[in-house]
Structure 1
């Protein structure tokens, strides 16, 4: 009977060792959970960026306001009859 109890105790210790420190043990599980969290955060940021791009594309396709704004800001275009004033700050 003592031999059986000793054998079972050794088996329990061996299984616990594999659970805590072995391959695919609790340490690996914790590391994988951290990786999943980082990936989900990254995906969330990318979804927001994609949504902003889709909104901008939709606005450019449907409205002329966005096109006009881009032409003014990026290309420096002015409507007919408008006067463009550039204000230069004073240098100290």
Structure 2
């Protein structure tokens, strides 16, 4: 009976060692959960960026106003006959 009890205690200790320090231990589980939350946050940010880009693409496909706005803001283009005023702030 003492041998059986000793064998069960040894098995229990080995299982506890695997739980705390072995492969796929609790510390690995915690690290993986942290990585998972980081990846979910990155995915949410990328999803939001993709939605904005899709909205931009739809605007460019459907309307000429968005194309004109981009040409004015990004390329500095103006229409023929327009006057462009640039106001430089003083310090």
What TM-score do the two structures reach when normalised by structure 1?
Answer: 0.89
Equivalent residue pairs, number? 91
Partner residue of 1:11? 11
What is the aligned partner in structure 2 of residue 57 from structure 1? 57
Q: Give the 5 Å matches for 1:40-79.
A: 40-79=40-79
Write the deviation string for residues 11-57 of structure 1: whole angstroms up to 9, x where unpaired: 10111111111011111111111111111111111111111101000
**Which aligned segments of 4 or more residues in structure 1 are displaced greater than 6 angstroms?**
none
Distance 2:74 2:11 in 1: 72
State the shift of 1:82 in Å: 2.6
Q: 5+ residue gaps in structure 1?
A: none
* TM-score, normalised via structure 2 length: 0.90
Secondary structure of the 1:78 match is coil
How much has 1:76 moved relative to structure 2? 1.7
CA RMSD of aligned residues (A): 1.3
Flag structure 2 segments of 5+ consecutive residues without an equivalent: none
